[in-house]
């Protein structure tokens, strides 16, 4: 009869021993591999020219979607980032399109949400140009050098080519520093 009580006591002791081994714990967020955090988004630029459909398929293969621009804060962060990391890239596909929409409203394909913030490039929108939205900048050449204007939305035929920007959600982890006799390790646990 003493044997089951000893086993139970040993199991309880092991459980409490495991609890004592977690030395610290914190919540962290990071972007998926190869993505860069820009503002609150994780972004990946592909400068290879593809159609809207090929670009969308590429992003989906990375468990991501094409870029959605919900407000001026997002656009400003992107316009601060692009000239530094991609100084001569003038055009990128976004998730914006009006495919199948008869009223002419644009939607962010990656989220399904109607695009209410539409920072148009001068002279846009030109619906006769197509059904998809790209971010377009103008190249300015001066004696001092070449610069790009801020990227703004432009309507484009979905079968034309451009680079694209994929967005993925931040990955949130709880990290625990675990101590064992003679060693330690860090565990990342998705939240």
Mean pLDDT, to the nearest integer, of 170-188? Answer: 69
Give the chain as a DSSP string. -HHHHHHHHHHHHHHHHHHHTEEEEEEEEEPPTT-EEETTEEEEEEEEEE-HHHHHHHHHHTT-EE----SHHHHHHHHHHHHHHSTT--EEEEEEE-TT-SS---EETTTTEE-----BPTT---GGG-SEEEEE--EEEETTEEEEPPPEEEEE-TTS-EEEEEEEPPEEEEEEEEEETTEEEEEEEE-
**Domain residue ranges of the chain, discontinuous segments joined by +:** 35-170
Give the least confident one: 31-35, 64-68, 111-115, 138-142: 138-142
pLDDT score at 13: 46
Give me Rg for the CA atoms of the chain: 25
For residue 9, pLDDT beyond 60: no
For the chain, give the number of residues: 191
Tens digit of each residue's pLDDT (9 = 90 or more) over 79-136: 999 999 998 899 999 999 998 777 789 999 988 899 999 999 999 998 888 999 999 9
* pTM as predicted: 0.78
Domain 35-170 = CATH 1.20.1050.140: no
Tens digit of each residue's pLDDT (9 = 90 or more) over 30-62: 999 999 999 999 999 999 999 999 999 999 999
Q: Backbone phi, then psi, for 30, in 5-degree steps?
A: -150, 165
């Amino acid at each position: 009869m003493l044997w089951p009580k000893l086993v139970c006591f040993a199991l309880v002791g092991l459980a409490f021993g495991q609890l004592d081994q977690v030395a610290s714990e914190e919540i962290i967020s990071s972007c998926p591999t190869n993505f860069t955090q820009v503002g609150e988004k994780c972004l990946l630029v592909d400068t290879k020219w593809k159609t809207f459909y090929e670009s969308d398929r590429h992003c989906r293969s990375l468990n991501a979607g094409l870029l959605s621009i919900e407000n001026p804060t997002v656009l400003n962060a992107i316009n601060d980032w692009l000239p530094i990391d991609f100084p001569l890239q003038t055009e990128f596909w976004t998730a914006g399109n009006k495919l199948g929409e008869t009223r002419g409203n644009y939607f962010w394909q990656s989220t399904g949400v109607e695009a209410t913030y539409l920072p148009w490039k001068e002279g846009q929108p030109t619906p006769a140009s197509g059904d998809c939205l790209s971010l377009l900048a103008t190249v300015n050449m001066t004696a001092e050098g070449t610069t790009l204007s801020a990227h703004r939305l432009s309507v484009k035929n979905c079968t034309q080519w451009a680079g694209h920007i994929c967005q993925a959600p931040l990955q949130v982890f709880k990290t625990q520093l675990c101590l064992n006799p003679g060693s330690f390790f860090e565990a990342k646990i998705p939240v």
